[in-house]
Chains A and B, each alone.
Chain A
Amino acid sequence: MSTQIRVLLAKVGLDGHDRGVKVVARTLRDAGMDVVYSGLHRTPEEVVTAAVQEDVDILGVSLLSGVQMTVFPKIFALLRQHKVEDMIVVAGGVMPDEDVEELKRMGVAEVLLQDTPPQYIIETLTALVAARGPR
C-alpha cells in the first residue's frame, strides 16, 4: 500500500495569480508527494469533481482575488454532496485575518498566506494527513 500523499492544487475563479501555487506544487512534488495542479480559472464544481475522482488526501485552493468567502462555502457544500468527509481542505493566498478565522470555522484545515516558507508547508500538510490517520 502506497503512503504517498496525494494533493490536488487548484485555482478557482477568474484570478490568474499562479506564482504561489506553482511554488507550492513544485515544493510538494520535490518532497515526494503526488501533486496534480488544476491550472487556472476553474469552477468549484470542476475542482471538487477532480478531487473526488483522484481521491486526493488534500485539496489546496489558491486565491488572491479576495473571493474566498464565496468559493469555500461552495466547495464544502459540494464535498458534502459527494459524501466526502475526510478530505483535508487547505487555503492559500492573500486573505485578511478575519477571513482566516472564518474559514477555519468553516472547516478549512489550514490557511497558508504569502511568505510561508516551503518547508513549513511540507511539514504542515504531512502532519495534517498523519493526524487524519489512514483511510
Chain B
Amino acid sequence: MSKTISHMSPEEIAASVSAWEKTEVAAFLARTPERKEQFFTLGDFPVKRTYTAADIADTPAEDIGLPGQYPFTRGPYPTMYRGRNWTMRQIAGFGTGEDTNKRFKYLIAQGQTGISTDFDMPTLMGYDSDHPMSEGEVGREGVAIDTLADMRELLEGIDLEEISVSLTINPTAWILLAMYIALAEERGNDLNRISGTVQADILKEYMAQKEYIYPIAPSVRIVRDMIAYSAKTMKRYNPINISGYHISEAGSSPLHEAAFTLANLIVYVDEVQKTGVDVDDFAPRLAFFFVCQADFFEEIAKFRALRRCYAKIMKDRFGAKKPESMRLRFHCQTAAASLTKPQYMVNVMRTTAQALAAVLGGAQSLHTNGYDEAFAIPTEHAMQLALRTQQVIADETNVTQVVDPLGGSYYVESLTNDYERKIFEILDEVEERGGTIKLIEEGWFQKHIADFAYETALRKQSGEKPVIGVNRYVMENTDAKIEVHPYDQTTADRQIARTRSVRETRDEARVQALLDDLVAAARDDSTNIMPVTIDLVKSGATMGDIVEKLKVIWGVYRETPVF
C-alpha cells in the first residue's frame, strides 16, 4: 500500500519529483526536447514543468481558507454562483441619451442583468457638446451628457432600485453622480435603495487612461467627497470603482495592474479616513475593476491574490473590523487590447477564454468584448454574441456549481502566493520612494507601463508572443467585410439643441449664485462638494459650467510624458 497523498511530507514529495525528473522526464527529453528552454507567464513569472504539494507546503492554511472567509482568497462570498450568477454587464454608449437608452433596453431584453455606460470624450473631459474642443467627438465613442435633461433620457424606463447602473467616468464623475442622485430624487426613489457604481478612480487616470482635468490634489479631494457623501446617504451605492483595467490596457504587466491599483486604494482610504469617517462605514462599498488577460491561470491567480492582499491591507493597515470591509468585489472586462483586426471572428474565442478565467477567478460582474472592437465601438450583433458567451458559461458549462474550483491546484495556489509576495514588494517600494502621488508626478508608474507596452510590441514582432492572425496563421484579405457601428451625423445637432434649450429656460441668476457657492465650497477643503453640485445640476447648470468654473481656481493638469 502506498501512502495517501496527504500523508506524504513535503520532503518526500520533493524527493519523488526529483526522482521523476531523473527518470521519466530525462528519458523523454532525450527523445523529444521541450519547445522552449524556459517557460514564463504573460506577466513574466517563470513557471515550472509541473507543481506539487511541496510547492505550497509553506502556505499558511488561513491564507487559502474557505470562500467568504478572511482573507477571501477563494471568493468574497461563501456560495458564489450557486446563489446568483455574476452580473452580466455589457457596456454601452453612443449618440444621445435616447440612442443609448435603446441599446440598454435591447441588452436587457437579451438577458443582461446590469447596465454600464460609456460616455463620449467631451463628457469624460468636462466639455459641453457645443465647446470647440468637442467638435467631431459628440456621441462618437460614448453617449453625450451635458445636463440633467440628458440623464433623464439616458435612464428613461430603467428602475434604479431594480437594476444597477455603472457610470464609467472619472474627472467629471462627481457631476454625473450628482445628476444620478437628482434623477433618483425626482423619481421619488429612496437613495438608500438605489444600487450602482461610478468609476471615479482619478489616480489611475494620471497613470494610464489620461482623462484628467485638474491637478492631483483637488481631484483626489473630489473623490474623497464622493465616497464620504455616499457613505452617509446611499448605503448600497459604490462611489468608486478602483480600476486596474486601464493600467493593463495602457500596456502594463498583470502584476503592475494589480499592485498599482492597490497603491491607489491606499491613497483613497487614507484620504477618507482623514475626514473622520470610520473605515467600516465606507470600505464595504469600495469596488474594483480588473482586466482578464490571455494567460488563463495567471489571471485566476491574480484575482485570488488581489482578494488576499486587499483583505490584509484593510485589516492590518487600516484597522477594518467588519468582514465586508475586507472583501474585495470586482467587475471584470476581457482584454480589448488582445483583440485583432485580421480574422476578427477569432476575437470571439479569445474573449470566451478570458471570460472563463474571469469566472473561475470569482468576478462579481463581467463585460465580454465584441468581436468588432478593433474596428469601432461594437454593433448590436457583436454585443449580443458577447452576452451569449457569458450565458453559455453560466448556463451550459456547470463551472458555476463549485466555488473556486481551482482552489488547491498546486500551480494556481503557488502562483497566487507569488503574486501576493510581489504585490506587497511593489507597495513597499512605492512607499519607500515617497508614495503614490509623488511617483505619479515623477512618471514612475507611467514609465513601468510604457516599458512593458514596448516589450510587448517587440515580442509580438518577433513572434515570441503569438497572436493568431497577426504573427501566426496569417491570411491575406480573407475576412468577410465587417459591418461596423455607424456614426449618426445628426448626433451633435440633436445634442446641442437640447443643451441650448436647457440654458435658455433655466433661472440664470440662480445658476450663477450656485456657481459662486461652488467656488466657496471648493476653496474650503472641509466642505463636501456634492450637495452644491446636486443643486447646480437640478437648476440646469451644464457640466461645462461647473468644470470651467473650477478650472479658474484649481487650474489644469498637464503631464510630462515619459517613454
> Among residues 476 to 495 in chain B, which have CB atoms less than 8 Å away from a CB atom of chain A?
484, 487
Task: Across the interface, name the chain B residue whose C-beta is closest to A37.
Answer: B561
Scoring B residues 127 to 145 as 1 if CB is less than 8 Å from chain A, else 0, what string do you get? 1000001111100110000
- Within A90-116, which residues are at the interface with B (CB < 8 Å)? 94, 96, 113-115
Q: Which chain A residues border B460 with CB–CB below 8 Å? A: 115, 117
Cα–Cα, bound, A115→B453 (Å): 12
Across-interface contacts of A67 in B (CB, < 8 A): 136-137, 140
Least CB distance, B465 to chain A, in whole angstroms: 11
Question: A22 near B563 (CB under 8 angstroms)?
Answer: yes
Give bound CA distance, A118 to B561, whole Å. 20
Report whether B341 and A113 are in contact in the complex, using a CB–CB cutoff of 8 Å. Answer: yes
In the A-B complex, the 6 residue pairs with the smallest Cβ-Cβ separation, listed nearest first, are A70-B136, A16-B210, A14-B121, A22-B563, A117-B461, A67-B136
Chain A interface residues toward B at CB < 8 A:
13-19, 22-23, 25-27, 29, 37, 39-41, 43, 65-67, 69-71, 94, 96, 113-115, 117-119
Determine if A37 and B341 form an interchain contact, defined as CB atoms under 8 angstroms apart. no
Q: Does B106 contact A (CB under 8 A)?
A: no
B450 engages A15 (CB within 8 Å):
no
- Sorting the interface of chain B by its residue count into under 10, 10 to 19, 20 to 34 or 35 or more gives 35 or more
Interface residue from A25, A43, A118 paired with B461 (Cβ < 8 Å) = A118
What 0/1 readout, one digit per residue, does chain B (360-392) give for beta carbons within 8 Å of chain A?
A: 000000000000001110000000000000000
Report B339-354 residues with CB < 8 Å from chain A CB: 340-341
Compute how far the CA of A113 lies from the CA of B141 in the bound complex, rounded to whole angstroms. 18
Considering only CB atoms, which chain B residue lies closest to A25 in the complex?
B563
| Interface flag for B249 (CB, 8 Å) | yes
What is the CB-to-nearest-CB distance from B379 to chain A, in angstroms, rounded to a whole number? 12
**Minimum Cβ distance to chain B for residue A121 (Å):** 10
Contact check, B249 vs A14: say whether CB atoms are below 8 A apart: no
The A-contacting residues of B in range 436-495, CB under 8 angstroms, are 449-450, 453-454, 457-458, 460-461, 467, 470, 484, 487
Give complex CA distance A69, B487 in Å.
Answer: 12
User: By the criterion CB–CB under 8 Å, are B559 and A40 in contact?
Assistant: yes
Q: Does B209 contact A (CB under 8 A)?
A: yes
12 extra interchain contacts, Cβ-Cβ under 8 A, other than A41-B125, A94-B376? A13-B133, A14-B125, A26-B454, A40-B561, A65-B140, A66-B140, A66-B376, A71-B136, A114-B341, A115-B341, A117-B457, A118-B458
Report B525-563 CB contacts with A as 1/0, cut-off 8 Å: 000000000000000000000000000000000111101
B9 to chain A, nearest CB (A): 49
Q: Closest CB-CB distance, B143 to chain A, in whole Å? A: 14
A17 to B250 Cα, complex, angstroms:
7
Binary CB contact string for chain B from 240 to 262 against chain A (1 if under 8 A, 0 otherwise)? 00000000011100000000000
Interface of A is mostly: loop
Asked whether, in the complex, the Cβ of A119 is within 8 Å of the Cβ of B374, the reply is: no
Most buried by B among A16, A65, A70: A16
- Which of B135, B205, B251, B461 has a CB less than 8 Å from the CB of A119? B461
In the complex, how many angstroms separate the beta carbon of A39 from the nearest chain B beta carbon? 5
Chain A residues with CB under 8 Å of B341's CB are: 113-115
Contact: B375 with A37, CB < 8 Å? no
Interface residues of B in 133-182 (CB under 8 A from A): 133-137, 140-141
| Complex A-B: 20 CB contacts under 8 Å | A13-B133, A14-B122, A16-B205, A18-B210, A18-B561, A19-B449, A19-B453, A22-B454, A22-B561, A23-B251, A23-B453, A27-B457, A37-B563, A43-B133, A65-B121, A65-B137, A66-B140, A70-B137, A114-B341, A115-B467
Contact status A26-B563, CB under 8 Å: yes
A13–B140 Cα distance when bound, in Å, is 13
Bound CA–CA A67/B467 (angstroms): 28
The residue that A94 contacts in the complex, of B125, B209, B374, with Cβ under 8 A, is B374
Which residues from A are CB-within-8-Å of B376? 66, 94, 96
Q: Does B430 contact A (CB under 8 A)?
A: no
* Most B CB within 10 A of own CB, among A22, A26, A41: A22
